[in-house]
Structure 1
Amino acid sequence: MFQKFYPDEDVNSTYEIPFEEFYKKGIRGVIFDIDNTLVPHGAPADNRAKKLFSALHKLGMETCLLSNNKEPRVSAFAQDAGSLKYIYKGRKPGIRGYQQAMKLMGTDSSNTIFVGDQLFTDVLGAKRAGIHSIFVKRIHPKEEIQIRMKRALESVVLHYYHKNKKIRHGKCR
């Protein structure tokens, strides 16, 4: 019932993702959500985010930010993080923003991954666009009210996702 919201993978943090392994598997583009995926909600790009983008670009990967936020927030972050490609008002979970991001990067759904912290926007949109999705735990609990309300529903979906994941990996009787 909830499978359309299940990510392909989940990790604790964006900064724990083995991007080198993805590169070896042919991944050439990474689309990122910003708030609570890379930095706390509303925060500027920090050194950790800047180092991540620098490392990804040195590796040979293209990157693009995809946010439902307005241009001032997204463009400021993109500039601070190293003149990154970006799409603002991305209308996630619609697929157009994901498709635009891949076009900007010169990639397609077979060699692109998406990283985000929300199931009902980030993960669902990536799945609808045919992109491998990686769900990360939110960085900070401070969020806008509409996001906090979705988190309660998200916790139910995550419960079943983790239960299903244990069963698939033979860890449940």
Structure 2
Amino acid sequence: MFKKFYPDKWVDSAYVIDFEELYQSGVRGIIFDIDNTLVPHGFDADKRSIELMERLKKTGFQICLLSNNKQERVERFNKDVNVLYIYDAHKPSRKNYQKAMELMGTDLKTTVFIGDQLFTDVFGAKRLGMPNILVKPMNPKEEIQIVLKRYLEKAVLHFYKRTSGG
């Protein structure tokens, strides 16, 4: 029942992912959520996120930010990382995951999605068959609608852990 929400992989942070291994496996495009994935909710790009984006670009990755946030928020974050982006993405709708791949020139075999929410980020990627990585939220301080979803996520992740041995 919950399997359609299970991430392909679940890690502590976007900053612990072995991106070189992803590149060697053929991944060329990475779609990132922003809030609580790369920086705490509402924060501007920081030194760590800027350095990560620069490292990924040097490795050869195309990068696209995919956010349900408004244009101002996404552009404010992006001004320091300078990657492709889509705001007001309506995740988990498939449309903008597809648009992100088009912008990057990648496809489902060469793209991975990285985000912190099951019911928007991971579910949207899974609806397309896109490989995905769930990261633990960076900061527990979130908007009320997200806090409520986290309770449901906890239940799904409980079953995920039981079936995955994690």
Q: Residue 103 of structure 2 corresponds to which residue in structure 1?
A: 104
SS of 1:39's equivalent in the other structure is coil
Query: Over aligned residue pairs, what C-alpha RMSD do you find?
Result: 0.8
SS of 1:64's equivalent in the other structure is strand
Q: Distance in 1 between matches of 2:103 and 2:31?
A: 11
Q: Distance in 1 between matches of 2:69 and 2:141?
A: 16
Q: Residue 126 of structure 1 corresponds to which residue in structure 2?
A: 125
Paired residue type of 1:63: I
SS of 1:30's equivalent in the other structure is strand
Paired residue type of 1:86: Y
Q: Residue 148 of structure 1 corresponds to which residue in structure 2?
A: 147
Q: Deviations over 1:36-71 (max 9, x none)?
A: 000000000000000100000000000000000000
Identity of aligned residues (%): 57
Q: Distance in 2 between matches of 1:10 and 1:51?
A: 22
SS of 2:163's equivalent in the other structure is helix
- Note if 1:30 corresponds to 2:40: no
Aligned pairs for 1:42-121 (under 5 A) are: 42-81=42-81, 83-121=82-120
Q: Distance in 2 between matches of 1:134 and 1:52?
A: 16
Q: Residue 13 of structure 2 corresponds to which residue in structure 1?
A: 13
TM-score (normalizing by structure 1) = 0.95
CA drift at 1:76: 1.2
Paired residue type of 2:10: D
Q: Distance in 2 between matches of 1:75 and 1:101?
A: 16
Q: Which runs of 5+ in 2 are unaligned?
A: none
Q: Distance in 2 between matches of 1:78 and 1:59?
A: 19
Runs of 4+ in 1 over 2 A off after TM superposition: none
CA drift at 1:79: 1.2
The structure whose Rg is larger is 1
Q: Distance in 2 between matches of 1:163 and 1:40?
A: 29
